[in-house]
Amino acid sequence: MDTSERIVIVGAGVFGLGAALELKQQGYTSVTVLDRSMPPVPDGSSNDISRIIRFDYGDPVYARIAKEAFDLWQTPEFSDAFYQAPCLWVCQDGTPERPVQPRAREYSEKTKRVLTEMGQPWHAVESVAKTKRLFPKLNGKLATSGFDGFYNNTAGWADAGKAISRLASRCAAAGVSFITGPSGQVEEFEKSQDGTIKAVRTLNGNRVEGDKFIVATGAWTSSLIPTWNSMLAAGQVVGYLKLTPEEVAELKDMPIYFNFSTGFFCFPPHAGTGYLKAAIHGFGYTQKSDKAKVSSPGASAVASRANFVPEDGMNRLLDGMKDLFPHLAPRGFERTGLCWYNDTPTGDFVFDFHPEHKNLFIATGGSGHAFKFLPVIGKYIISSLQRSLSQDLLKKWSFPTGFRDSFQPDVFGGDGSRGGPERRELTNSERSTFEAALASSYRQSKI
């Protein structure tokens, strides 16, 4: 371990900041983070008013590490952004009008089995009637036929924007350097003949040299480096329904609700904004670039997520809200947005060196479930960089190369926790509307 190496990190989300802080804590003297915005990056998947913090997983590896992180969320270092709340997980049958994920029940059963093997409690709720007795604030029908579920009191949610701000401040206090704006928006890598990366070049021509480079750019990764069909940027719909102060107080003790079958989930109210946030953990939408042939959210710096979701995504949000709070659903959402996941075929992270560039390390593939690991993620990224993790973890988080010669969208099925209809490409009309909303947010960022 040469702590005098110059480490350049591209991306100021949970992976990039977590890695930067871990490096400084290990004594590295030169750590620089580049991004087009100061963290929390407005349209990054690490930024929002809420993220679920839980260790209910069908995969024992993530369950174990998430439990490690969960315990830390309750410590003074992280607790000012953490709110404990029960998490209710349900499944249901589908209809032609409301298709559901057939793997949902399998994933639910795997999750309960993993919790039991860990010695962690969970509580069955086999009917809507029992659920309403336990959680009377949920006054809708909750689900169609085939309802089944469980809840875990050992769960909660984090104010993601606040947590990222705190993490960025800790990085700065530890001596991490930040370069943002056009000087931090990386456009290309300068390579030697043997593939070694010498420097990054940014939007305004700034050149930053380094000895090792960490790419932690989330859904923007495939548009920046060759990923050979092993990652897919997919937009997931999010909606924010405005509550009155009285409604915030009334619903403050509601559980986090997550429907494995439809992908719909909803948080307790966010007191600071008065929003009731709902979203879909589904297969999402892609937006392929004619030039790069990969899906991308768009590169411009923005002031906030573009206020746009496709009509069918809006309908899924409203349907889910009707199931929980039919009296609130007609109010609609004050604003919406697309949260861009960087999906991998199995939903596993990628913490590995790029096969063609020996000093280019990739830390991405959050696949919609990475934020909860914020207190520990840096340790696992840097241990992967140093190749000091167990062989099992190094293999699990290795760079996928099996799809290099052919794009196979059907392989991006995730870990079984996604719900709702199949992934689809945004239509030309939807792309035009989305681009206009992005342009509006970009103009606001310049004000």
- For the chain, the residue count is 447
Residue 1 in domain? no
Residue 174 in domain? yes
The pTM assigned to this predicted structure is 0.96
Neighbouring residues of 6: CB distance < 8 A, sequence distance ≥ 6 = 30, 32, 209, 210, 211, 212
Q: CB-hemisphere CA count at 13 Å for 38?
A: 10
Q: Are 386 and 223 in contact (CB under 8 A)?
A: no
Three-state secondary structure along 278-306?
EEECCCCEECECCCCCCECCCCCCCCCCC
In terms of residue numbers, what domain contains 78? 6-446
pLDDT string in tens for the chain (447-residue length): 799 999 999 999 999 999 999 999 999 999 999 999 999 999 999 999 999 999 999 999 999 999 999 999 999 999 999 999 999 999 998 776 676 777 889 999 999 999 999 999 999 999 999 999 999 999 999 877 889 999 999 999 999 999 999 999 999 999 999 999 999 999 999 999 999 999 999 999 999 999 999 999 999 999 999 998 899 999 999 999 999 999 999 999 999 999 999 999 999 999 999 999 999 999 999 998 766 678 999 877 888 899 999 999 999 999 999 999 999 999 999 999 999 999 999 999 999 999 999 999 999 999 999 999 999 999 999 999 999 999 999 999 999 988 777 666 667 888 999 998 899 999 999 999 999 999 888 777 665
Q: Are 107 and 150 in contact (CB under 8 A)?
A: no
Q: Are 364 and 342 in contact (CB under 8 A)?
A: yes
Q: How far apart are CA 88 and CA 254, in angstroms?
A: 10
Q: What is the CATH number of the domain that holds 211?
A: 3.50.50.60
Neighbouring residues of 87: CB distance < 8 A, sequence distance ≥ 6 = 52, 54, 56, 151, 152, 155, 156, 255, 256, 258
Residue 371 in domain? yes
pLDDT at 195: 93
Residue 224 burial (C-beta neighbours within 10 Å; 0-12, 13-18, 19+): buried
Q: Are 269 and 157 in contact (CB under 8 A)?
A: no
Residue 186 in domain? yes
Residue 340 burial (C-beta neighbours within 10 Å; 0-12, 13-18, 19+): buried
Residue 141 in domain? yes
Q: Are 235 and 218 in contact (CB under 8 A)?
A: no
Residue 313 in domain? yes
Collect contacts of 94-98 with beta carbons under 8 A, ≥24 apart. 94/144, 94/261, 95/144, 98/144, 98/262, 98/319
Q: How many domains, in total, are found in the chain?
A: 1
- What is the number of other CB atoms lying within 10 angstroms of the CB of residue 28? 22
Residue 210 in domain? yes
Residue 323 in domain? yes
pLDDT at 447: 58
pLDDT at 445: 67
Q: Are 206 and 177 in contact (CB under 8 A)?
A: no
pLDDT at 404: 77
Read off the amino acid at residue 97.
Answer: E
Q: How far apart are CA 56 and CA 180, in angstroms?
A: 36
pLDDT at 407: 62
Three-state secondary structure along the chain?
CCCCCEEEEECCCHHHHHHHHHHHHCCCCEEEEECCCCCCCCCCCCCCCCEEECCCCCCHHHHHHHHHHHHHHCCCCCHHHEEECCEEEEECCCCCCCCCCCCHHHHHHHHHHHHHHHCCCCEEECCHHHHHHHCCCCCCCCCCCCCEEEEECCCEEECHHHHHHHHHHHHHHHCCEEECHHHCCEEEEEECCCCCEEEEEECCCCEEECCEEEECCHHHHHHCCCCCCCCEEEEEEEEEEECCHHHHHHHCCCCEEEECCCCEEECCCECCCCEEEEEECCCCEECECCCCCCECCCCCCCCCCCCCCCHHHHHHHHHHHHHHCCCCHHHCCCEEEEEEEEECCCCCCEEEEECCEEEEEEEECCCCCCHHHHHHHHHHHHHHHCCCCCHHHHHHCCCCCCCCCCCCHHHCCCCCCCCCCCCEECCHHHHHHHHHHHHHHHHHHHC
pLDDT at 409: 60
